[in-house]
Homo-oligomer: A and B are copies of this chain.
Amino acid sequence: MFYYDGKLQYQVRVDTPDPRFARMLQQAIGGVEGEIRVCLQYLFQSFGARGPAKYRDMLLATGTEEIAHIEMLATAVALNLEGASSSEKDRAAKDNPVVEAVMGGMDPRQFLSAGMAALASDANGVPFNGSHVYASGNLAADMYANVTAEATGRALACRLFELTDDPGMKDMLRFLIARDTMHQQQWLAVIEELGGHQGTLPIPNSFPPEEELREVSYTFFVPGVEGVPAPQGRWSEGPSLDGLGEFKLMPGQPFGDKPQLAPPLPMAYAERLQMTAPHSADPASDPTR
């Protein structure tokens, strides 16, 4: 169960409202790198956690923190949309700075749909989409999903930091960037606790190794046409990171043949020719030519 106190986790101050920056902040609310996503992601991972209870608890703690980040950013959006003189309603639209803001770069739905407040959408107005809530049931996979969310999320916050000169906004972003630093650490610390590369790889580590085709488990395929040099690096030679194999390079090549499908099912109503023409894999012998 959850509780609130109505205060902000960290102060949100806007010295000079900027409606265009309010649009940018939407990415940190409803974007794929945003706070609704991490909030729901950690909460769903927690709600579905099976195995040691402490991970459920940790996920719950941080998922709860992220609700407060949504609150901070939504407040920041609302404050960036304020500040127009109260007499704007009497002006003609063409001289009205609010009109210029709405039509000239802010998210118009912040005005049209929300009356000058935040939306559950990204910086292009695309609504948050729940398919980004990764909760795979595999703890290691989830931790990497979480690192991804916090790494792209911190890159986003750093980029937002560059888009504003507002001291209040910079201050808020300094806090959020630091929290993303911690959260990256935190999920990687779980990986370390699970034994690092050797303890977790390949993910899932519970699938019987003998069931996979080990011949290609450490092979870097290079499907370049003739003459294309192989990209080389840590992945193309030396021991594998899980300690179970040796990397090797191999040109890409087909192990299979050309696929052959059956003729169309009559009740699926292909064109007649598809159903009656000889069904040949060799275009040279094709009687429809």
Which of B36, B61, B288 is within 8 Å of A130, CB to CB?
A: B36
Q: Are A5 and B225 in contact (CB under 8 A)?
A: yes
Instruction: Please report the C-alpha to C-alpha distance between residue A273 and residue B139 in the assembled complex, in whole angstroms.
Output: 9
CB proximity of A125 to chain B, nearest CB, Å: 3
Within the complex, which residue of B3, B235, B278 is in contact with A5, where a contact is CB–CB below 8 Å?
B3
Q: List 25 A-B contacts (CB under 8 A).
A: A1-B4, A1-B256, A24-B103, A27-B108, A32-B113, A33-B113, A43-B67, A44-B118, A57-B283, A60-B231, A68-B223, A102-B163, A109-B122, A112-B156, A115-B155, A120-B131, A127-B132, A137-B270, A138-B274, A158-B204, A178-B215, A184-B201, A189-B233, A205-B271, A205-B272
Contact of A2 among B2, B126, B138 (CB under 8 A): B2
Minimum CB distance partner of A125 in chain B: B124
Is the Cβ of B1 less than 8 Å from the Cβ of A8?
yes
With A7-B1, A162-B267, A274-B51 in contact, do A192 and B241 touch (Cβ < 8 Å)? yes
Partner of A4, one of B107, B214, B225: B225
Q: Which of B78, B125, B185, B213 contacts A201 (CB 8 A)?
A: B185
Interface residues in A217-272 by Cβ distance below 8 A to B read 217-235, 240-242, 247, 252-259, 261-272
Residues of B within 8 A of A93 (CB): 162-165
Please tell me if the beta carbons of A241 and B188 are within 8 angstroms of each other in the complex: yes
Give the CA-CA distance A88 to B33 in the complex, in Å: 25
Residues 1-16 of chain A: 1 if any B CB is under 8 Å from the residue's CB, otherwise 0? 1111111111110000
Considering only residues 173-208 of chain A, those with a C-beta below 8 Å from chain B are 174-175, 177-182, 184-186, 188-190, 192-195, 197, 199-207
- The chain B residue with its CB closest to the CB of A276 is B51
**A27-B131 Cα distance, complex, nearest whole Å:** 13
Q: Which B residue's beta carbon lies closest to that of A174?
A: B213
Q: Which 9 A-B pairs have the closest CB atoms?
A: A115-B137, A124-B125, A48-B117, A51-B274, A8-B256, A128-B130, A120-B130, A7-B254, A127-B130
Check A288 against B229 for contact (C-beta < 8 Å): no
A88 touching B231 by the CB < 8 A rule? no
Residue on B nearest A27 in the bound complex, by CB: B112
Question: How many Å lie between the Cα of A105 and that of B96 in the bound state?
Answer: 17
C-alpha gap A233/B55 in the complex (Å): 9
Question: Which of the listed residues A53, A115, A189 has the most CB atoms from chain B within 10 Å of its own CB?
Answer: A115
Give the residues in chain B near A224, CB-CB below 8 Å. Answer: 3-6, 61
* Cβ 8 A contact of A116, one of B65, B96, B264: B264
B50 touches A274 (CB 8 A): yes
Q: A156-B112, A206-B266, A221-B65 are in contact. Are A193 and B259 (CB under 8 A)?
A: no
Query: CA A181 – CA B93 in complex, angstroms?
Result: 24
